[in-house]
Structures are given as C-alpha cells and as structure tokens.
C-alpha cells in the first residue's frame, strides 16, 4: 500500500515537473533562438554581399557610360561627315563658277581673235587695194614726173604700218593677258583638284573610321548585353534563394508568440542592425564596384576595337596576298616571255655567227686563191721583164747538173 501510494505520489510529481520546466524556459530559450537566427541572417547577408561583390554589377554601370560615349563620338563623326559634304558641295559650286568664268573668258578671247582676224583681213585687203592702185598709177603716170606718185603711197603705207603696229601691240597685250589669265585659272584649277582629292581622301578615311566605330559599338553592345547578363544570373539566383530563406525563416504559423516588450525591441534592433549593415557594406563596396565596372568596360572596349582592327587587318592581309600572288604570276609570266625572247635572240645570233664563220672561211679560201693568182702573175711579169720565156723542164737524171740558163724562182 505504501509502495503503491508512493509510486502514485512520484508519478504525480513527475507529471507536474514538465509543466514547471516549460514555464522556466519561456524567455531565455526564445532569446537564444532569436540571437541564433539573427546571427544566421547577418552571415547570410555578408555572404550575399560578398557574392554580389564578386559577380555583381550596379544597374547603372560603366558599360552604359561607355555606350553613351561611343554614341556621342558617332554623332560627332556624323556631324563632321555632314560638314565635309557641305564643304564638298560648296567647293563643287565654286569649281562650277570658276569653270563658267573660264568658259566666258575663252569665249571673249575667241571673239577677240575673230575680231583680230577680221581686222587683219581688212588691213590686208586695204594693202592689196593700195598696191593695185599704186601699180595702176605707176602704169598710167608719165615718164617725166617721178616724185609725185611716190608721196601718196608713202603716207598711206606709213598710216597702214602705224595701224598694223597698233594692232600688233594690242594682240601682244591680249596674248599676255590671256596667258596670265590661263596660268591663274590653271593654278586655281590645280588647287581645286588637290582640295577635291584631299576631301575625297578624308571622306574615305572618315567612312572607314565610321564603319569601324559602328562595328566596335555593335560588338561592345553585344558583349555588354550578353556577358553582363550572364554574369548577373548568379546574383539573381543567390538573391532569390536568400529572400526565400529569409521568408521561410519566420513562417506565418509560428508555434510561439513574443509577449515581452524587451524581446520585441531587441528583435527590432537586430533587424535595424542587419539593414544598416547591408547599407554600410553596399556603400563601402559601391566605389570598388564602379572601378571594377569601369575596368571591365575598358577591357571590353579595347577587345571590341582589337577585334574590329583584326578583322580589317585580316581582310587587308588577304587582299595583299591576293595582289602579291597576282604580281608574282605576272612577273613569272613576263619572265617566261622575256626568257623566250632572249632564247630566240640568242638562237638567231648563234645562227648568224655560224653563217659569218662560214662566210669568213669562204673568204679566206678565196683570199688564198687570189694570193696564188697574184703570185703567179708576179712571177710571169718578172719573167717578162727579164726577157726570158718559160720552157718545159727536161727529164734529167737525179745526179745530172742543172741547166745554167734556168733562173731560179724567187718567192
């Protein structure tokens, strides 16, 4: 009975003990849980900020600034191109005006030349008329007077000579003015042609630079859109997971409620400290992020420029190789043609040399024959001078004495 009652009392005490324990853990246990979760939240915020520092990029980053700068440069180049076109049109108008002035001067010069030709023809006709009159007068004049018909033609001739001298002086002045005008207009035309060629060359260079800048802008925009979008995907994923974890950290259906004002104040302090910590970290690392963004933008801009330059240099290299191959083929063809011509010339010269050698040999043989004939003729003439006639040689024995009357031949 005692044991059973004791056991019942013990059972009742043990049944009351958990209730007393639950009342003792009400405040400190919850505070430890809150501090644990607050430290976990701070750790997650720091981790997210570090990840954002590594992979992140502000919304208004340096690549947009670079794109705006490139757009401003493109607009400036477009304005320069428009200004050059206006100057080109003005130069064309000036060239047209100068051409019209030149045509007017040439027309006036042609008119003056025609007037000069008409005047010269008139003067020649008058001179011919005077000469005819003088001839008629000379035929009709009496034989005695001599001085009377000479006075009138001399005055007319002097007048005509003075008029002719005046016309020649005027023609010389016109020719000098025309020469100076033509020289001046030629110089202006050369200057206008040089300016036109210079503007054409500058326009070609500007169009090439405009094309390169457009390609750089296209490549840079593509890189900014693709590379930075791919790099920010990790930040979006980390931020989404972080927000989901914070949302799931304190669900709506909690098993306990905060009843102490001090606990609420402490929780608000923890939240404000976490918020201030995130703002401080963001403000401190914003400058560094801007510098990193500027550096990445510069690297990408340089990469775009190098890609475009590489493309143009590759095309220029291909063109140079093509031109070099064509030049080498033309040189080989010309060398083959010159080698063929040289071989033909050498062959012709060798044939001519062989022919000349044969002719020389034939001439030497003829010369030997001529020398023999001359020798025989000289011997015959010498015999005639000595008054001797040649006789047929007698058939002696080998040891017989020779004929003393025979004269030995002297060669």
pLDDT tens string 148-188: 444 445 777 778 888 888 888 888 888 888 888 888 888 88
The 10 Å Cβ neighbour count of residue 48 is 19
Q: In angstroms, what CA-CA distances link 384 with 379, 380, 403?
A: 9, 6, 19
195: pLDDT strictly greater than 80: yes
- In the chain, the percentage of residues whose pLDDT exceeds 90 is 3
d(CA 266, CA 392): 171
Q: In angstroms, what CA-CA distances link 375 with 380, 386, 387, 409, 411?
A: 9, 17, 18, 11, 8
d(CA 281, CA 43): 13
d(CA 102, CA 186): 10
Q: What is the mean pLDDT of residues 265-272?
A: 68
Q: What is the mean pLDDT of residues 129-147?
A: 66
Task: Choose the most confident range, by mean pLDDT, from 49-63, 235-249, 348-362.
Answer: 348-362
Quick: pLDDT tens for 78-105: 788 888 888 888 888 888 888 888 888 8
At 260, list the tokens.
Answer: 């102490």
Closest CA to 232 of 23, 40, 57: 57
Q: Is the dihedral of CA 32, 38, 40, 46 positive or negative?
A: negative
Higher confidence at residue 397 or residue 362?
Answer: 362
Q: What is the mean pLDDT of residues 19-33?
A: 64
d(CA 35, CA 256): 16
């Amino acid at each position: 009975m005692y044991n059973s009652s004791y056991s019942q009392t013990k059972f009742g005490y043990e049944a009351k003990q958990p209730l007393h324990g639950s009342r003792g853990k009400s405040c400190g246990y919850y505070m430890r849980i809150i501090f644990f979760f607050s430290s976990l939240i701070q750790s997650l915020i720091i981790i997210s900020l570090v990840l954002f520092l590594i992979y992140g990029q502000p919304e208004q980053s340096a690549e947009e600034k670079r794109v705006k700068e490139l757009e401003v440069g493109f607009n400036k180049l477009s304005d320069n191109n428009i200004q050059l076109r206006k100057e080109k049109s003005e130069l064309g108008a000036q060239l047209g005006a100068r051409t019209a002035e030149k045509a007017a001067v040439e027309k006036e010069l042609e008119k003056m030349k025609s007037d000069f030709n008409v005047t010269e023809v008139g003067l020649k006709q008058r001179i011919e008329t005077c000469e005819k009159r003088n001839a008629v007068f000379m035929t009709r004049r009496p034989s005695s007077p001599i001085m009377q018909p000479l006075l009138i033609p001399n005055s007319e001739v002097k007048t005509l000579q003075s008029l002719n001298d005046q016309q020649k002086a005027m023609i010389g002045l016109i020719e000098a003015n025309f020469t100076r005008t033509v020289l001046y207009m030629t110089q202006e035309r050369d200057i206008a042609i040089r300016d036109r060629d210079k503007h054409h060359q500058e326009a070609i260079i500007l169009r090439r630079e405009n094309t390169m800048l457009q390609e750089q802008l296209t490549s840079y925009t593509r890189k900014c859109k693709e590379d930075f979008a791919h790099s920010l995907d990790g930040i979006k994923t980390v931020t989404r997971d972080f927000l989901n974890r914070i949302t799931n950290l304190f669900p709506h259906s909690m098993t306990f409620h905060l009843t102490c004002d001090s606990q609420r104040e402490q929780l608000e302090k923890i939240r404000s400290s976490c918020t201030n910590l995130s703002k401080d970290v963001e403000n401190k690392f914003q400058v560094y992020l801007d510098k990193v963004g500027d550096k990445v933008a510069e690297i990408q801009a340089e990469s775009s420029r190098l890609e475009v330059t590489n493309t143009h240099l590759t095309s220029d290299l291909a063109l140079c190789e093509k031109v070099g191959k064509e030049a080498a083929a033309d040189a080989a063809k010309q060398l083959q043609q010159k080698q063929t011509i040289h071989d033909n010339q050498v062959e012709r010269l060798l044939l001519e040399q062989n022919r000349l050698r044969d002719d020389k040999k034939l001439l030497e043989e003829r010369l030997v024959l001529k020398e023999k004939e001359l020798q025989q003729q000289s011997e015959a003439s010498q015999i005639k001078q000595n008054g001797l006639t040649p006789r047929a040689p007698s058939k002696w024995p080998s040891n017989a004495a020779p004929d003393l009357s025979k004269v030995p031949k002297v060669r």
